[in-house]
Amino acid sequence: ETGVTQTPRHLVMGMTNKKSLKCEQHLGHNAMYWYKQSAKKPLELMFVYNFKEQTENNSVPSRFSPECPNSSHLFLHLHTLQPEDSALYLCASSQSGGTSGWDTQYFGPGTRLTVL
Amino acid sequence: QKEVEQNSGPLSVPEGAIASLNCTYSDRGSQSFFWYRQYSGKSPELIMSIYSNGDKEDGRFTAQLNKASQYVSLLIRDSQPSDSATYLCAVTFSGSARQLTFGSGTQLTVLP
């Protein structure tokens, strides 16, 4: 595997279900991100982890719960979601302190989530 | 509020023409700027990054940055139908090295 991988690629769940999205990066990066992309809206940053520590939480509802056990893996645990949570969920990674001094983020293929 | 603005399009150009995509941002202190390409149903793919005023060229792509006017643009020379996609501008605002703010994207169609 190369780059950033995400599983599953598609997920359909009911509002009472609990599911988890998984992201793995094979780039040796130290920062990982969750984004939400809804139709006709800009990408929305949800969470940022740097060296496994959460550094950003952009007012995301508690029904989304991130977990970062190590610098290569990132999870997004989902429970009691709403239909408006249906979207493409994207994971990204970056290496802080690169030669440019600023992070360049690389995205995984995304998980298309549908909440019924 | 820190914002990134793009014309949503759609922008249509004939094959072989130059496509010009523009982006403005609200924070004068912004330091890093990125262009991503996103095909329908796919994830964003990095095309260019630019940090200094002026032009940066990579193959058929040229990014132009003007910090005084707070805009960044992407030129695509010799446009191909395979360039048809949504182009996302992203900016790292001052004081937040890891937080990219994205524009809503410009949809480009290159007509054969």
* Statement: residue A102 has pLDDT above 60: no
The answer for residues whose C-beta is within 8 angstroms of residue A97's C-beta and 6 or more apart is none
- Name which of A45, A104, A110 is nearest B49 (Cβ-Cβ): A104
Lookup: tokens for A40:
């006709």
**CB of B14 closer than 8 Å to CB of B111:** yes
**Percent of chain A topping pLDDT 90:** 69
Lookup: tokens for B85:
């996609």
> In the prediction, which pLDDT does A64 show?
95
Q: A17 vs A9, which has greater pLDDT?
A: A9
What's the pLDDT tens digit per position in B39-50?
998 999 999 999
Cα dihedral sign, B94-B97-B98-B100: positive
Cα separation, A10 vs B47, in Å, equals 26
> In the prediction, which pLDDT does A52 show?
72
Lookup: tokens for A65:
């719960």
**CB of A76 closer than 8 Å to CB of A34:** yes
Q: How close does chain B come to A44, measured CA to CA in Å? A: 8
Cα separation, B6 vs B23, in Å, equals 5
Label residue A101 by pLDDT band (50, 70, 90). very low
Mean pLDDT lowest for which of A25-39, A40-54, A97-111, B94-108?
A97-111
C-alpha distances in angstroms, B14 versus A39, B18, B83, B86, B112?
27, 9, 11, 16, 6
Residues belonging to chain A with any Cβ–Cβ distance to chain B shorter than 8 Å: 31, 33, 40-43, 45, 48, 50, 55-56, 88, 90, 94, 96, 100, 102-110
What's the pLDDT tens digit per position in B63-100?
999 999 999 999 999 999 999 999 999 998 876 656 88
